[in-house]
Amino acid sequence: MLKVDALPDDPAELRRAYSCFPSGITAVCAIDGGEPVGMAASSFTSVSIDPPLVSVCVQNTSATWPRLRERRRLGLSVLAHGQDGACRSLSDKHGDRFAGVSWEPSADDAVFVHGATAWLECSVHGELPAGDHAIVLLRIHGLRADPESEPLVFHGSRFRQLVAC
């Protein structure tokens, strides 16, 4: 019989368990005050086809999300293999998050990272409180995808590569 040996109130054990699930990495970005602002988010999920919705989870302590949530449009870029440097830069707490990150704005000031495997132009559809995070529902208004491009995969607290079987 399997016995669980850690309690869910241990943050380190929870992070370790969460890291067992591989995920892609997205960049959520827009122009604010004439400058790009953005963040990396690994908690991305497709939600609905009709209406077209996706979600990301954002820490309640984020200083970036309050700036992004007020933008008319957000660019969500699904990062590709080899973009771990862009992911690290967009996750930085200090300095220029876009240093060394090649990007382009849309006509509606969404920001997209060059070389990503997919780009979704979105608006905030809703937010749901979820403990120390918010679940943000984003409505897709436009998209572009390159499914042949390898995704950036995060698993076990490090970047991995998919291997075809």
For residues 140 and 66, is the Cβ–Cβ distance under 8 A? no
Query: How high is the pLDDT of residue 86?
Result: 94
Query: How high is the pLDDT of residue 99?
Result: 92
Query: How high is the pLDDT of residue 4?
Result: 75
* Residue 1 pLDDT class (50, 70, 90 cuts): confident
For residue range 51-96, list pLDDT tens digits in order.
999 999 999 999 999 999 999 999 999 999 999 999 999 999 888 9
For residues 104 and 98, is the Cβ–Cβ distance under 8 A? no
* Residue 113 pLDDT class (50, 70, 90 cuts): very high
Please identify, in words, the CATH class of the domain defined by 23-154: mainly beta
Tell me 165's DSSP state.
-
Query: How high is the pLDDT of residue 19?
Result: 87
Domain extents in the chain = 23-154
Give the rounded percent of residues in the chain with a pLDDT score beyond 70. 99
What is the model's pTM? 0.91
Centre a 10 Å sphere on the Cβ of residue 86 and count the other Cβ atoms it contains: 27
